[in-house]
Amino acid sequence: MPMLVVGVSHHTAPLDLREALSLEGRLEGAYGSLAEAAEELVLVSTCNRVEAYAEAADPRAAEARLRGFFEGLAPDMAPRIRKALKVLHGDEALWHLLRVAASLDSMVLGETQILGQMKAAYEGAVGAGRVGARFHGVFQRAFAAAKRVRNSTEIGRHPASVPSVAAQVAERLLGELKGRAVAVLGGGDMAELTAEHLVSSGADRLAFCNRYVAKARELARRFKGKAAGLDDLEGVLAEADVLVCSTGAPRALVGPDLAAAAQARRHRRPQLFIDISVPRNIDPAVGALENVYLYNLDDLDTLASEHRGRREQAAREAEELLREALDGLHGWAESSRLGPALGRLSAHFESVRAAEVARASGRLSHLRPEDREKVEALTRAITHRLLHGPLVRIKAQALKGGGSLLKGAEELFGLEPGDES
């Protein structure tokens, strides 16, 4: 059965659409409503993607069911959802799974969270009874390939954009970002994008501080965070492990006195300040404070430029490893398909042998039991010897991508799936 993927990601859908399609808290109902959509099904729901991976005897019918499911999650957005949905079949679907698990399709190239999220989604599908032998093999091999990419390349160590560099700097300075507080001062596109990268890297406590509180509330709703006005800036800074600043203010909003007061309230715990405002909104003197690390737009751009070439090389190496993994998946899938087919062929010859021995049993009645067993062993050996060469050649051709010998044998002997006679 061919595999297919239906869903949206940060490539095709903005945040509000991904939020509307999020399956957080409703996975059980989703699996229930899709009980007849496909033979095997894994649903993935993260902040950057909501996707269904399916195996179905009728892929086109499964695609239609999955499209209808996603559009039904937010009927008022159905036209936008229809346009944003991406559908992949066969090898394209397998390749997509490999790239997603290896974080080559992530907003932050090489981020570590996606593999854990994919494993959790797979375990959820196992718990829902939607994973069979086929998907077990496919997903376990995808996870192994992703682990090999992480261990054998430098993917993720060399981000190429300013927001992704900011997220990496935060991870290297503070370690795991889950549970870390991120404050966004202002509402510029770059600040939002940097916040998205930080969330993708694990940050899950966001606060938005803006001159216009309504704007802060809008962002807080989108990112499931808190909102504040500039009059509470010191309090926001005191909570923040990471501050992303991008405003249109003509002068610095965060000076050394304000930063020092915030540091005192947080008992000198380390802070990362990321100023991507033009002109700068964080006084450079803030960077001289103990336990405060300040990066501005030029710093991040320099790091991104230095990393760009190494990142491209690492990405090429990662894709080569994934190509090998895809070839391995093909070989495994073909072997999985070959087993039952070759079994049917062997069973057919064995049934013919057994029937002929039984037909001759009257003429062999004079033989002693041990001699009759010798006849059985001899006929089994002849059948095995006759089949050995053809089976080896059929398997070798099939594993190279050909199936004409197997198909010809099945047609020649009238064998269909499930026919063991």
Catalytic residues: 47
Spatial CB neighbours of 358, under 8 Å, sequence gap ≥ 6: none
- How many Cβ atoms are within 10 Å of 390's Cβ, its own excluded? 15
| CA–CA dist 390, 342 (Å, integer) | 10
Three-state secondary-structure class, residue 315: helix
Residue 349, CB half-sphere, CA atoms under 13 Å: how many? 20
DSSP 8-class letter at 380:
H
- How many Cβ atoms are within 10 Å of 203's Cβ, its own excluded? 26
Task: Write b or e for each residue in 342-381: b if 16 or more Cβ atoms lie within 10 A of its Cβ, otherwise e.
Answer: bebbeebbbeebeeebeeeeeeeeeeeeeeeeeeeeebee
CA angle 178, 181, 182 (to 5 degrees): 105
Distance of CA 247 to the CA centre of its chain: 34
Computed from CA positions of residues 384, 386, 389, 395, in that sequence, does the dihedral angle turn out positive or negative?
A: negative
Query: How many H-runs (helices) and E-runs (strands) does the chain carry?
Result: 15, 10
| CA–CA dist 398, 330 (Å, integer) | 10
The single-letter code of the amino acid at 170 is: A
Q: How deeply is 337 buried, as exposed, middle or buried, from its count of CB atoms within 10 A (0-12, 13-18, 19+)?
A: middle
Least Cα distance to 81 among 175, 33, 150, 9 occurs for 9
